[in-house]
Amino acid sequence: MKIVVAEKKAQPARQGINPRTGETIQIAAKPASKVVRVRALKKLKEMI
């Protein structure tokens, strides 16, 4: 298995729409964060 730590960029606040009511809503900003990604190696894929 290959484990990689990737960085996600910060997301600014934005406008959204509630699909049920059609009302405009404010979606909060998200700070930058780190994400762990796991990938199967070729030998593992061949075993399956």
**Three-state DSSP string of the chain:** CEEEEEEECCECCEEEECCCCCCEEEECCECCEEEEEEECCHHHHHHC
Question: What is the residue range of 43's domain?
Answer: 2-47
Provide the pLDDT for residue 14: 97
Dist. CA 44–CA 6, nearest whole Å = 22
Domains contained in the chain, number: 1
Provide the pLDDT for residue 13: 98
Provide the pLDDT for residue 27: 97
Contact (CB, 8 A) for 29 and 13: yes
Mean pLDDT split into 10-residue runs, the chain, 48 residues: 91 97 97 92 76
Provide the pLDDT for residue 43: 76
pTM above 0.75, yes or no: no
